[in-house]
Structure 1
Amino acid sequence: MDWLSLFNAVLFAQTIQAVTPILLAALAGVLCDRAGVFNIALEGQMLIGAFAAIAGTWVTGSVAGGAAAALVGTMAFSAILAFGSTWFRGDPIVIGIGLNLLASGLTAFLLRILFGVSGTFTDPTMQDLPRVVLPRIAAVPWFNRVFGSHSVLTWAAWVLVAVIAVFLFRTVWGLRLRGVGERPDAAETLGAGVARTRIAAVLAGGALCGLAGAQLSLGSVTLFAEDMSAGRGWIAVVAVMLGRGHPVGVALACLLFGFADAAGLRLQGRGLPNQLTDMAPYVITLVALVVARGRRRRGAMA
C-alpha cells in the first residue's frame, strides 16, 4: 500500500467536510463552557437539528426553511438545559445525559409519525445546502478540489471561529459572559445577571448545534438516519476540553478529529476493515485526552 498517496486533495476535502458539524457543535460548547454551563448535550442537540432540518426542508420545500427549522427546533430543545440548569438549579450533567437520550428516542419516534418510516428517510426532490464557489480558488485545480465543493455552513463555521473569539476576548459582552462563568458571585454583585447570561449562552449554543445538525443532514446528503450524529457531539465536548474553551484551540482540536475521520474513510477504500477505521476518531480522542491530562499535571507540579 502506498501510504503517501493517501495524502491528496480528496483527503483534505473530506477532512474539511468532516470537521464542519463537529466544529459548529464545539463552538456551542465553548459559549456554554465560558458561561459556566458544562454542556454534554451537544450530541442530542445536533441530532435534533439534523431531524428538524430535514423535516423543515420537506415541509417548506426550501433549504432555507430547513435551516430555520433546525435553528428554532434546537434552540427550543436547548431551553430545557438553559432553564433547567439556572431557574430550577438542576445539574447540567444529568440534564445533558437526559437530553441525549431524549433526542435519540424523540427523533426515532417522530420519524415514524411524520414520515411513516424507520431507520432512514430521504426524498430525492429535496435540495442540499448551497455551495460556495470562490473564483480565484476554483482557478487552481488542487485548491479547487480541496475547497471548491463545500457548503455555505462550512465557510460559516470558520468565520464563526473568528467572530466568537473576538466576541469573547474583545467585547464587553464577552467579558461579562466569561465573568459569569469564572466568578458568578462577583458578576451577580456587579449586576451581570448570571441566570440570564447563562440562558442566552445555552440558547445561542443551541442555534449553533442546529446549524451542525443541518450540515449533517443537508450538507453532502439529503437524508435523516436514526442516531446519525454518531458520537460527533461527544467528540465536540472533548474538543472543547482540549482547546481549553478558546475558539482557536477548539478549532485545531476539531481539525485533528476531522482528519482522523477522513483518513479512516480513505483507509476503508484501501482494504482495511471498517470496524478498525471507524475506531480512529475515538482512539485519537482518548489519546488526546491522556496527553492533555499529562501536560496539565506536569504544569501543576511545576
Structure 2
Amino acid sequence: MTTAEDLRHHRPDSDHHRLHSDHHHQHGGLVIDAVGLSKSFRARGGDPTELLSGATLQVAPWTTVAVMGRSGAGKSTLLRALGLFQPFDAGRYRLLGRDVAGLSDRACSALRARHIGFVFQEFRLLPHLTATANVEVAAALAGVPARSRRREAQRALDLVGLSHRLRARPRTLSGGEQQRVALARALVKRPSLILADEPTGALDDTTAAKVLEILRHAVATSAAALVVVTHDPVVATACDRQLRLQDGQLLPLLPDPDSVPKGPADRPAVGPSERPAEGSVGDSGVGCTGDAAGESAGESVAGPTA
C-alpha cells in the first residue's frame, strides 16, 4: 500500500512539470492568494457565528494542503467560498491571479467549471448514466468540445484505474470504484485547483490510499493545487502542508506524536457533515454566490455541504 511518506515525496517528471508553468507564472505563481478572509453565518433566529476572522491562505501550484479542525469549525464553509459558491464577508481572494470580488454569478460559474475540480465524501454520480457518461457531463460543463469529450472522459477514467469499467453504471460499482469515477469527473477538465471535502471518509484504508495517490499524481502532473478538508491524520500527513482551522484562523498544525494512528483501528471516526443553517451572513461580500443544487448534476460542482 502506498504510504503517506511515498505520497509526500512524489514529484512530477520534467515534461509534465512544465505543462501549465507559463500560465501560473502569469499570476505570480499562486493558485490561491487569499488574505484577511472573514466569514460568518447565522442560524434561523440565532446570532451570527464567526467562522473565519482575518484568515490567510496562499497555495502555489504543485502543492497539497490539508485543513483540519473540529466539526463545525467552518472547514466546509471555507471550501464553498474557495470554490466560488458563496462569498467571503471581507478580505481579498484571488484565484489564478484574478480578483473574484464583484464577479457575476455567470462569471463565477464559468471560472468554477473551467478551473476547479470538486471531490466529496458523497459520490454524487448520476445513477442512470455509465461511468463514461458521468464524466462526459463534467467535460461538457467545462467546455470540452463535443468531439473530444468521450476521449477525455476515457482518459480520466484510465487515470484512476477504471478503463475496464467504462460502461458500468453506479449501482454495479463498489464504493471505491464510485469514488474513483467521482475523481475522474473532477479531473477530466485538468483543473488548476482541486477542492476535496473528506474524500476518503467513507473508504477503507487501502482504497483511501489509492484515492490519495490519484490526487497527488493529478497535482504533480498538471501544476494543480489541492486543498483537502479531513479529520484523518493519515490524509493530512500525506499533504505538503497541514493547517488547522481554529478560532477563525488557519494555523500550522504542529505534529502530535501521540495522535499519529498506528493502524486502521486508530483512525479517527469522521464526524457528521458540517451544515450551517440557511441564511448566511454577508451575501454581498468578497466572491461569488452559486446555485449549488442547480449545478451538481455531472460536474460534482454542488459544493461542500457547509
TM-score normalized by structure 2? 0.23
TM-score normalized by structure 1? 0.23
Bigger radius of gyration, 1 or 2?
A: 1
Q: Which structure carries more strand by proportion?
A: 2
Q: Which structure carries more helix by proportion?
A: 1
